[in-house]
């Protein structure tokens, strides 16, 4: 009988059953039913056990290094980089950073398995309920999301800000965003003003039932305020012929929430890694990053425009300006 510390439970069960067939105490047909195998597989295991003993129940590749296995030194380097530089990056962000800055091309799943084995990476979320996803709109600009995301965007030592972001539903491309102390009506108007000027009017806006968008009070402490009149936001959108669609549950806005979550995972980690520790420097850098990424992706992916040399020079000058202004000399 194989030793329990060197063989799995399945191996021990297989060896016990096959050994009985070898000494003719059990038929091959019965052994096949007990192991969930075919009779041909049982015949092969019997012959292998006669030749190799208990090792005959193991697969022929047992103990061999897979041909596609990554070197142990590479795995140790990746774990070391994550612990030292990118400890607050999510798996996708860390995978992209490895490829861009360290010339290490690995799949996200490989990174996830390596880091999880060491107890690293973002906290796991359990208990998600499966819900039917709403189909995206067929055309860019048909429907837009508008949502505010309060977060410690500038780090735990600085005040909380709210990123008010407008995103296209069809493509998932962020169109415009700004930081504000709170998600106010005027801040939302400013975001929509910039979006409408650059991309035109959408057919509809997908919103939550925040107080700046619609009236949700009925009686109570606000009984002296009119409940049957539209808000100034509703009046403005009605004059622009933009339909307002209000989500009934937080889960209905999951697509917009995931976009905000992506920004929270990246825009906070990058300034920390770059050593930016002042509120003005962080805010300015984040604004420039959002502007460059949004308009570059939109121009190339959706409008099919080529980035001309003068655009690239302008982008380079912006990056150079941020470098010279905020570098510690």
Q: Is 117 exposed, middle or buried (0-12, 13-18, 19+ CB in 10 A)?
A: exposed
Q: Whole domain around residue 94: which residue ranges? A: 72-117
Q: What pLDDT is recorded for position 286?
A: 64
* Same domain, yes or no: 237 and 154: yes
Q: Per-residue confidence at 71, pLDDT binned at 50, 70, 90?
A: confident
Helices (H), 155-302: 185-199, 232-239, 254-267, 269-274, 279-297
Stretch among 103-107, 242-246, 292-296 having the lowest mean pLDDT: 292-296
What are the backbone dihedrals phi and psi of residue 165, each rounded to the nearest 5 degrees, phi first? -125, 135
* Same domain, yes or no: 40 and 76: no
* Same domain, yes or no: 199 and 310: yes
Q: Per-residue confidence at 226, pLDDT binned at 50, 70, 90?
A: low
* Same domain, yes or no: 25 and 165: no
Q: What pLDDT is recorded for position 217?
A: 61
- Residue 93 maps to a domain: yes
Q: Per-residue confidence at 229, pLDDT binned at 50, 70, 90?
A: confident
User: The tokens 């990058």 sit on which residue?
Assistant: 270
What are the backbone dihedrals phi and psi of residue 211, each rounded to the nearest 5 degrees, phi first? -65, -25
Is residue 2 predicted with pLDDT exceeding 50? no
Most confident range, picked from 201-205, 243-247, 250-254: 201-205
- Residue 133 maps to a domain: no
- Residue 48 maps to a domain: yes
Q: What pLDDT is recorded for position 3?
A: 47
| CB 242 within 8 Å of CB 142 | no
Q: Per-residue confidence at 4, pLDDT binned at 50, 70, 90?
A: very low
* Same domain, yes or no: 53 and 79: no
What is the C-alpha to C-alpha distance for residues 56 and 315, in angstroms, rounded to an integer?
65
Q: What pLDDT is recorded for position 193?
A: 93
- Residue 243 maps to a domain: yes
Q: Per-residue confidence at 260, pLDDT binned at 50, 70, 90?
A: confident
Across 183-209, average pLDDT? 91
* Same domain, yes or no: 79 and 51: no
* Same domain, yes or no: 113 and 181: no
Q: What pLDDT is recorded for position 191?
A: 93
Q: Per-residue confidence at 204, pLDDT binned at 50, 70, 90?
A: very high
Q: What pLDDT is recorded for position 326?
A: 59
* Same domain, yes or no: 195 and 259: yes
Q: What pLDDT is recorded for position 322?
A: 66
* Same domain, yes or no: 240 and 306: yes
Pull the structure tokens for residue 319: 């990056």
- Residue 63 maps to a domain: no
- Residue 131 maps to a domain: no
* Same domain, yes or no: 161 and 306: yes
Q: What is the count of structural domains for the chain?
A: 3
- Residue 135 maps to a domain: no
Q: What pLDDT is recorded for position 252?
A: 60
Is residue 276 predicted with pLDDT exceeding 80? no
Across 146-173, average pLDDT? 85
What residues contact 110, with CB distance under 8 A and at least 6 apart? 70
pLDDT digits (tens, 9 = 90+) for 291-305: 776 777 777 777 777
Is residue 41 predicted with pLDDT exceeding 80? yes
Q: What pLDDT is recorded for position 195?
A: 93
Is residue 112 predicted with pLDDT exceeding 50? yes
Tell me which residue of 196, 211, 199 sits closest to 241, measured CA to CA: 196
Across 143-150, average pLDDT? 89
Q: Mean pLDDT over all residues of the chain?
A: 80
* Same domain, yes or no: 20 and 94: no
* Same domain, yes or no: 292 and 165: yes
Q: Per-residue confidence at 237, pLDDT binned at 50, 70, 90?
A: very high
Is residue 207 predicted with pLDDT exceeding 80? yes
- Residue 130 maps to a domain: no
Is residue 321 predicted with pLDDT exceeding 90? no
Is residue 263 predicted with pLDDT exceeding 90? no
Give the CATH number for residue 237: 3.30.420.10
What is the C-alpha to C-alpha distance for residues 135 and 115, in angstroms, rounded to an integer?
34
Q: Other CB atoms closer than 10 Å to residue 32's CB: what's the count?
A: 19
Tell me which residue of 247, 243, 322, 241 sits closest to 285, measured CA to CA: 322
């Amino acid at each position: 009988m194989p030793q329990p510390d060197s063989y799995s439970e399945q191996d021990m069960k297989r060896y016990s059953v096959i050994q009985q067939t070898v000494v003719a105490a059990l038929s091959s047909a019965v052994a096949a039913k007990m192991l969930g195998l075919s009779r041909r597989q049982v015949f092969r295991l019997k012959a292998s056990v006669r030749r190799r003993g208990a090792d005959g129940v193991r697969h022929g590749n047992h103990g061999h290094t897979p041909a596609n296995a990554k070197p142990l030194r590479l795995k140790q380097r990746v774990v070391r980089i994550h612990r030292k530089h990118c400890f607050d990056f999510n798996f996708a962000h860390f995978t992209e950073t490895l490829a861009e800055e360290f010339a290490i091309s690995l799949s996200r799943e490989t990174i996830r398995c390596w880091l999880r084995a060491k107890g690293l990476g973002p906290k796991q979320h359990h208990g998600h309920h499966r819900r039917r996803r709403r189909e995206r709109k067929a055309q860019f600009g048909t429907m837009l999301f508008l949502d505010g995301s309060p977060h410690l965007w500038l780090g735990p030592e600085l005040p909380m800000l709210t990123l008010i972001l407008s995103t296209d539903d069809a493509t998932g491309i962020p169109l415009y965003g700004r930081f504000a102390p709170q998600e106010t009506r005027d801040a939302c108007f400013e975001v929509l003003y910039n979006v409408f000027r650059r991309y035109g009017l959408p057919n509809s806006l997908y919103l939550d039932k925040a107080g700046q968008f619609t009236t949700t009070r009925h009686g109570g402490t606000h009984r002296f305020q009119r409940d049957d009149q539209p808000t100034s936001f509703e009046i403005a959108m009605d004059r622009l012929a933009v339909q307002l669609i209000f989500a009934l549950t937080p889960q209905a806005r999951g697509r917009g929430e995931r976009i905000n979550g992506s920004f929270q995972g990246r825009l906070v980690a990058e300034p920390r890694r770059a050593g930016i520790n002042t509120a003005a420097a962080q805010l300015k850098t984040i604004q420039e990053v959002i502007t460059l990424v949004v308009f570059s992706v939109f121009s190339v992916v959706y409008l099919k425009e080529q980035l001309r040399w003068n655009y690239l020079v302008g982008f380079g000058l912006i990056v150079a300006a941020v470098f010279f202004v905020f570098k510690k000399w």
